[in-house]
Structure 1
Amino acid sequence: MSTFLGILVVTLAGLLMGSALWPMKVMRRFEFEHWWFWGMSVGLVLIPWLVTLLFCPHAISAYRTVDTSVVVKGNLLSLAWGIANVLCGLCFVRIGFALTGGILAGLGVSVGVILPMILKGSGLFSAAPSLGSLAGRTVLAGVGVMLVGVVFVSLAGFGRERALKNFDKHSGGFGTGLTMAAISGVLSAGLGLSFVYSQGPIVAAMKAGGAADIPANFAVWAVGLLGGAFVNISYPVYLMTKNRSWNILVESWREAALAALIGLNFCGAVALMGKGMLLLGALGASVGFGIQQSMQMLGNQGVGFLSGEWRAVHGVPRKQMFIAIVILLAAAILMAYGKTLVKA
């Protein structure tokens, strides 16, 4: 039952993460730096810390009992993800939801799935099977299938750009956006890995103080995402200062609310991902992240289609995207099957 529930939770996490930025599609006044500032401030700082301080008794005292190296490790990983997140946001604007999501998830999953089976995570993830075990090989095969899906996503994206012939002259070109997406993809694994390598001691400390499961998990994200929050908030601050556009930040409270919704979507997605990983047991760090990334890609494609990115595109590119979606679903199923092969 916990396996099914875990798969369901990480599936929801991926779909929510993949569609988290949809509010930007209906903004007219805000530029990237404005909605990113509001969204990341709410999603990375405000909500995680509110939940932690309100629902984890003596949270600060509990944090003090955790080894400093655990917090540093988590923040270094989230810092890498923070850099990826900024690049990702720019890539959504430059090359669209569909292609960015495909490259991001495909490259990130290679690191995020494989590493926890080589360098064991904290808590129950420390008992993860090795990469050479039957379960490990099956999950690795799922990664291989997923990368095939990424190839089809990339081909479809190239075809879409050729069909639309709408490269943004201010964006630096499609190739630049593609390179940024590739770097972002590798670094993006830092989000899941931050939780994997720090959740054990932090959750234990919070529960010892009387916190329930969900608030204890939020406590991991609250302190672990500080590195990522620094990057994600500093960058739009720099842009608004450079462009002298701070005033726009408060000119449209409707768009500020939409930007805050992005943060709420994101925070909900990471909370679900962490919980789903734990429900999936020792191999949850790898399987949970892999399935979440597959579903995140589907969420990206959904937003891309609904927002009109593919409206004027027909023929081969569209077929390639549909093939990619089928392959991604197959990859998620294969990784889920790998979880069932773990010996009790």
Structure 2
Amino acid sequence: MSVVAGIGWHLVGAASAAAFYAPYKKVQGWSWELMWSIGGLFSWVLMPWIVTSMLVPNLAEFYADIPLSTFAMLMFCGALWGIGNITYGLTMRYLGLSMGIGIAIGLNLAVGTLLPPIIKGKFGELMSSNGSTLTMLGIAVALVGIAIVTFAGNAKEKAMGQKAEEFNLRKGVTLAIICGIFSAGFAFGLDAAGPIRAQSEALGINYLYVAMPAYGFIMGGGAIVNFGFCIFNIVTKKEISIRHDISIGKSLLIRNLLFSAMGGIMWYLQFFFYGWGEASVPENLGYINWMLHMSGYVLFGGVIGLVMAEWKGVGTRPVRILILGLLVITAAANIVGMGMAV
């Protein structure tokens, strides 16, 4: 195990998460629901099971001794994560991008990092361990960095005259809280995947991949929620027509399929590399994995925004504030790294 490798792989996964929507922006002539479902098919169903089938020679035999309660918990946590995915989009609708990201991601980071050890009754033990002061300081600094990036985003929106589609503070904050708590369901699912990890280790699977046979069930729970939401919208909203979506012409149809698949695969890859990062972090500090992932998500989201000229024309002040926030988040990862090394 390597502290540097753990942080590095988490950052690779976070970069994939921050960039996953870029291919979706290339999709033309499709409803959001169809695009999201096609991408989700690759992200939540195909990729997890393709990877698992490459790791496990006999799936039925591998899962035979796993308690049914484990599968149920993984699916339940995945469903929570799926609800978080849906409410994330609604948060942006009612609060705008900057405020929505700040509240939702900040809560997601805090809940996904601290709640699992609290539920397991190990929080006191973690706080008395070597390096705990530095790691907790790193979490606090990451939250400060996210707040600064959020402030920069708010300044950008004002400079560009942007506002939420239907600004509603009460609805937006409520949804952001729901999103922040429920999106951490993936972290809870990984925490509940102990029996599958043990089975993977017994089979001799490389330590970087031991959690991945659990992904199909966690993501499966999320898939049920997301597919259900998309199907409900397709059935109830008259402006959505699947017949229209698939009659756009062969070349554009193939193009849309490829870009949707690419976006879905990139979304999956965040958790693929998350698994590598988690496996590289010492077990007694496992609670900081989610913090590294979520802070990296905000970090690379800001970097990608700068590279894609999304901040062009807003003036130097918002950009300076953004860069300060990104530097603070980078410092947080280094502080956590020092705490892990103690």
Give the TM-score band, short-chain normalised.
Answer: 0.7 to 0.9
Trace 1:202-221 onto structure 2 (pairs within 5 A).
Answer: 202-209=196-203, 211-213=205-207, 216-221=210-215
1:161 equivalent in alignment to 2:157? yes
1:337 equivalent in alignment to 2:331? no
Q: Deviations over 1:255-279 (max 9, x none)?
A: 2211111111111110110221121
1:186 equivalent in alignment to 2:187? no
1:83 positional shift: 0.8
AA paired with 1:188?
S
Instruction: Tell me the distance in 1 between the aligned counterparts of 2:125 and 2:230.
Output: 41
AA paired with 1:173?
F
AA paired with 1:223?
F
1:48 positional shift: 0.7
C-alpha contact (below 8 Å) 1:79/1:228 kept by paired residues: yes
Instruction: Tell me the distance in 1 between the aligned counterparts of 2:34 and 2:117.
Output: 39
- The residue aligned with 1:245 is 241
AA paired with 1:236?
C
Instruction: Tell me the distance in 2 between the aligned counterparts of 1:33 and 1:128.
Output: 44
- The residue aligned with 2:49 is 49
1:45 positional shift: 0.7
Q: Deviations over 1:266-324 (max 9, x none)?
A: 11110110221121121442222222211111222233334443223124332221211
- Greater displacement, 201-210 / 63-72: 201-210
1:144 equivalent in alignment to 2:140? yes
C-alpha contact (below 8 Å) 1:128/1:283 kept by paired residues: no
Instruction: Tell me the distance in 1 between the aligned counterparts of 2:204 and 2:110.
Output: 37
**Matched residue of 2:66: which SS?**
coil
Instruction: Tell me the distance in 2 between the aligned counterparts of 1:59 and 1:32.
Output: 34
Change (3 A) 1:245 1:14: same
Change (3 A) 1:191 1:248: farther
- The residue aligned with 1:222 is 216
- The residue aligned with 1:72 is 72
- The residue aligned with 1:282 is 283
Instruction: Tell me the distance in 2 between the aligned counterparts of 1:51 and 1:183.
Output: 31
AA paired with 1:299?
F
**Identical aligned residues as a percent:** 25
Which ranges of structure 1 fall in alignment gaps of 5 or more residues? none
Trace 1:1-344 onto structure 2 (pairs within 5 A).
Answer: 2-91=2-91, 100-120=100-120, 129-167=125-163, 171-173=165-167, 175=169, 176-177=171-172, 179-198=174-193, 200-209=194-203, 211-213=205-207, 216-243=210-237, 244-250=240-246, 251=248, 252-341=253-342
CA RMSD of aligned residues (A): 2.8
- Normalised to the residue count of structure 1, the TM-score between the two structures is 0.86
Instruction: Tell me the distance in 2 between the aligned counterparts of 1:255 and 1:90.
Output: 24
1:241 positional shift: 2.2
**Matched residue of 2:211: which SS?**
helix
AA paired with 1:228?
G
Change (3 A) 1:16 1:128: farther
Instruction: Tell me the distance in 2 between the aligned counterparts of 1:7 and 1:230.
Output: 31
- Greater displacement, 105-114 / 323-332: 105-114
Instruction: Tell me the distance in 2 between the aligned counterparts of 1:133 and 1:209.
Output: 31
- Normalised to the residue count of structure 2, the TM-score between the two structures is 0.86
**Matched residue of 1:185: which SS?**
helix
C-alpha contact (below 8 Å) 1:80/1:190 kept by paired residues: yes
Instruction: Tell me the distance in 1 between the aligned counterparts of 2:148 and 2:297.
Output: 16
AA paired with 1:183?
I
Change (3 A) 1:26 1:305: farther
Instruction: Tell me the distance in 2 between the aligned counterparts of 1:30 and 1:292.
Output: 31
Change (3 A) 1:35 1:94: farther
- Greater displacement, 74-83 / 90-99: 90-99
Instruction: Tell me the distance in 2 between the aligned counterparts of 1:236 and 1:160.
Output: 31
C-alpha contact (below 8 Å) 1:97/1:301 kept by paired residues: no
1:14 positional shift: 1.3
C-alpha contact (below 8 Å) 1:167/1:173 kept by paired residues: yes
Which ranges of structure 2 fall in alignment gaps of 5 or more residues? none
Instruction: Tell me the distance in 2 between the aligned counterparts of 1:222 and 1:328.
Output: 31
Instruction: Tell me the distance in 2 between the aligned counterparts of 1:95 and 1:309.
Output: 19
Instruction: Tell me the distance in 2 between the aligned counterparts of 1:98 and 1:158.
Output: 5
Instruction: Tell me the distance in 2 between the aligned counterparts of 1:179 and 1:92.
Output: 12
C-alpha contact (below 8 Å) 1:83/1:228 kept by paired residues: yes
Instruction: Tell me the distance in 2 between the aligned counterparts of 1:275 and 1:331.
Output: 20
**Matched residue of 1:261: which SS?**
helix
- Greater displacement, 302-311 / 93-102: 93-102
1:225 positional shift: 1.9
Instruction: Tell me the distance in 1 between the aligned counterparts of 2:187 and 2:60.
Output: 23
Instruction: Tell me the distance in 2 between the aligned counterparts of 1:340 and 1:248.
Output: 56
C-alpha contact (below 8 Å) 2:209/2:275 kept by paired residues: no
Change (3 A) 1:174 1:20: farther
C-alpha contact (below 8 Å) 1:44/1:225 kept by paired residues: yes
